[in-house]
Amino acid sequence: MAAEHEHKHVRVAVIGTGFGGLGAAVRLRRAGVTDFVVLERREDVGGTWHDNTYPGCACDVPSHLYSFSFAPNPDWPRNFSGQPHIRAYLENVADNFGLRQHIRFNTEVQQMTWESDELHWRIDTSRGSYTAEMVVSATGPLSDPKIPDIPGLESFEGKVFHSAQWDHGYDLRGKRVAMIGTGASAIQVVPAIQPEVRSLTLFQRTPPWVMPRMDRKITGAERWLHAKVPSTRALRRQALWMIRELQVGAFTKHPKQLGLVEKLASAHMKRAVKDPATRRKLTPDYRIGCKRILLSNNYYPALAEPNVDLVDSGLKEVRGNTLVASDGTEAEVDAIVFGTGFHVTDMPIAERVKGADGSTLAESWKDGMEALRGCTASGFPNFMTIIGPNTGLGNSSMILMIEAQLQYMVDYLRQLDTLGGGRTGGRVALDARRESVRAWNAHVQDRMARTVWNVGGCDSWYLDDNGRNTTVWPGTTAEFRKVTQEVRLEEYDVLRPGAGKDAALAGTAAAGKGADAIYTGEGAK
């Protein structure tokens, strides 16, 4: 266990033990880097898969794809595994790869400050401080739950909690429950609690598109085969990946093609919901894919049950124990469950990161998040984000994107070693050039212009307060892997102690070139 007020210097500090943080730890060890810590605010590993324990919690990406390529699991029980299995998988990764020795649990990062003279990060945590040559921030976009500012909520006398902070001590049986939101979390919660609650009032601000979920048990024979003949497992993963890669073009270039998918989703709804008035409420008025497509076989049937009331309007106000929707509908309830998502476009950790000029990453991102290749921000040397800006996906496995960024991390450290004269920790840092970050983002936003997320006619959490899509990657995972394969030194300033920016590299930067000139050949067309 870490000492209460430890101070330690490490080569790399990783933050978080979700897929991003644990993956970083594995890749660091494989690259021969053992001088690192992983700081985790909770008491165990798992990140969002540790925190989210709500009834029905599962992943809607098939498990054989939603897992590390370097840690295959022949034993996934279902196509779409539940949260307990995913969390157990991450615990096994921590054990099998010898990661626990590096992890400092119950250690919350409070502040990270770049110390220019020393060329290192000072990291203040709830349990002492660290200095680190490099920080890999893997806090993820789904770590801090968001509860909307609802007038009168404080006057509510019943139980209130967020889907990501489920209170298992509170018995919902026989209660009048309000569910707020109809996103990926809520549509899993609704069918799971509907049979046991007295009444369920669902506040729907925007109806989601919901497709059937092709879930089934993975048979014992399949699992045996996957264990004995690993190529069958690899083939399965490859097929799952390929299908999703082929879908990307419809999302990014040809949203009109998605009309056929809308027909399938409508038919799926009609099979379960017979009442035309309810169907009208449940039919979205935007292109499918604009918001995340949800997968469920039991959401619509649950809504058709007599103890469920669908309010076709957002929650506006709370008066005592009465909930009031924007359209004036009222419902008296005993408990409110918020399925209202997370702080995604306003990454909370950014407020705790102070860069070279003393301003925070949140200040630097006040007009919207942006990073070079989704990984590094200008003015924040040797600081890298896993699942950074524009690295999210609309239809495939985030683990693929995480692994691409981990490759970039390993190459970043290799570059530091080379620049440091072959010595590990050779006191040198890389700072993404402002022009390179700008050019990269111009390129990304240019590609974004015709995607379904921008033109599909919806407002989603993919978009920030300025309506800019700073979360999704507008291409295939193969393209992203290609552009994060290696660190291009011409996109960085090299910093050395006391010497400022490395003159040797001046003039070779991407500065001044148009985005197209830089990224042609990287699938930019």
CB of 237 to ligand NAP, least distance (A): 17
Q: Which one of 74, 339, 374, 394 is in contact with ligand NAP (CB under 6 A)?
A: 339
Enumerate the β-bridge partners of residue 159. Answer: 335
Q: Does 341 bind ligand NAP (CB under 6 A)?
A: yes
Q: Which sign, positive or negative, has the C-alpha torsion 122, 125, 128, 132?
A: negative
Q: Does 55 bind ligand NAP (CB under 6 A)?
A: no
User: Binding mask 458-497 vs ligand NAP (x if CB under 6 A, - otherwise)?
Assistant: ---x------------------------------------
Interface stretch with ligand NAP, choices 38-46, 95-103, 200-208, 265-273 (CB under 6 A): 200-208
DSSP 8-state symbol, 313? S
A 10 A CB-CB count for 439 gives 24
CB of 48 to ligand NAP, least distance (A): 8
Q: Which one of 111, 206, 278, 307 is in contact with ligand NAP (CB under 6 A)?
A: 206
Residues 460 and 448: beta-carbon distance below 8 Å: no
CB of 464 to ligand NAP, least distance (A): 13
Interface stretch with ligand NAP, choices 132-140, 184-192, 232-240, 265-273 (CB under 6 A): 184-192
Residues 168 and 345: beta-carbon distance below 8 Å: no
Q: Does 211 bind ligand NAP (CB under 6 A)?
A: no
Q: Does 148 bind ligand NAP (CB under 6 A)?
A: yes
Interface stretch with ligand NAP, choices 33-41, 68-76, 203-211, 298-306 (CB under 6 A): 203-211
Nearest by Cα to 336 from 162, 169, 151: 162
Interface stretch with ligand NAP, choices 179-187, 357-365, 368-376, 504-512 (CB under 6 A): 179-187
Q: Does 240 bind ligand NAP (CB under 6 A)?
A: no
Contact partners, residue 274, CB within 8 Å, separation at least 6:
304
Q: Does 212 bind ligand NAP (CB under 6 A)?
A: no
Residue 409 falls in which region: left (phi positive, over 0), alpha (psi -120 to 50) or beta:
alpha
User: Residue 441 and residue 37: Cα distance in Å, rounded?
Assistant: 31
Burial class (CB in 10 A: 0-12, 13-18, 19+), 306: exposed
Q: Which one of 99, 186, 218, 318 is in contact with ligand NAP (CB under 6 A)?
A: 186
Q: Does 37 bind ligand NAP (CB under 6 A)?
A: no
SS3 assignment for 317-369: EEECCEEEECCCCEEECCEEEECCCECCCCCHHHHHEECCCCCEHHHHCCCCC
Q: Does 288 bind ligand NAP (CB under 6 A)?
A: no
Q: Does 62 bind ligand NAP (CB under 6 A)?
A: no
Q: Which one of 99, 134, 180, 429 is in contact with ligand NAP (CB under 6 A)?
A: 180
User: Residue 292 and residue 186: Cα distance in Å, rounded?
Assistant: 13
User: Residue 224 and residue 231: Cα distance in Å, rounded?
Assistant: 12
Footprint of ligand NAP (CB under 6 A): 58-61, 142, 148, 163, 180-186, 203, 205-206, 292, 314-315, 339-342, 461
